[in-house]
Amino acid sequence: MIQRKNILAPFLLLVIATTVLVGFIQKPKSKPTLYIIGDSTVRNTGEGFGGWGSYMAELLDTTKISVSNQAMAGRSTRTFIKEDRWNKVLVTLKKGDFVIMQFGHNEGSVPDTSKAGYRGVLRGTGPETKELTWKNGEKEEVHTYGWYLRKFVQEAKAKGATPIIASMIPRNQWKDGKVMLANKDFGKWAAEVAQSEKVLFIDLNKITADKYNQMGLEQVKALFPTDHTHTSPDGARLNAASVVEGLKMNKKHPLNKYVKKA
């Protein structure tokens, strides 16, 4: 009996030591994720079209970071929240992740209970609200464009993620030989929220507009298959490259370390 104990003792010590060692070994750290939220200019699955968010993975080192394009066609800041699409992002959002947001194309209508007003928001960045009562008696408080952007930013920060605001891509609309900018409304308001919340602002509207101006009207026209808003895959890749260019303007931003070397 004494001999059996002596034989088992080294084995038991080895089991105990192994258990302790495993307890100290940390689990492999999961990759951060870049979440992208927005409208059809960010994610477009229609044949012959493309949204820039769908091509960001081509420009990033996906062995080190994952890309999740959660944008949805037809959505505004308001409806992206109202339809619980933002909550689905928040559920999986974790410390170390990133969120790029680009909205503005679908916010322009006056908010009301009509089909046209379903997506609309109040203009500006202030605290103004408008109460709507739907046919079923449900009440909805509509806010400004800036209010919705701040909600995205603040809730992303609360999860330990890094939010980034991008202005909307320019439409194929020209005036006096130059692409029309959104720097007096949605682009301006996006920049103001980014500044007040101290997060990176990527002026996607201007960066891409500068490229369009160099290309000229006829070349740019080829990037928009059917209308002045929705780009082809080539146009979407151009916009994705503009996002990375805007990112590189802030060399110290942590997302830069995941950008592929040229």
Catalytic residue (choose from 39, 105, 143, 230):
230
Reported residue count of the chain is 262
Q: Are 199 and 175 in contact (CB under 8 A)?
A: no
Q: How far apart are CA 136 and CA 128, in angstroms?
A: 24
Q: Which residues contact 12 (CB under 8 A, 6 or more apart)?
A: none
| Type of residue at 108 | G
Q: What's 112's DSSP letter?
A: S
Catalytic residue (choose from 61, 112, 227, 234):
227
Confirm whether 54 is a catalytic residue: no
Q: Which residues contact 205 (CB under 8 A, 6 or more apart)?
A: 167, 168, 169, 170, 181, 182, 183, 187
Confirm whether 105 is a catalytic residue: no
Reading the block at residue 235, the tokens are 């146009």
Q: Are 246 and 256 in contact (CB under 8 A)?
A: no
Q: How far apart are CA 97 and CA 80, in angstroms?
A: 20
Confirm whether 228 is a catalytic residue: no
Catalytic residue (choose from 40, 54, 167, 242):
40
Which of the residues are catalytic? Answer: 40, 227, 230
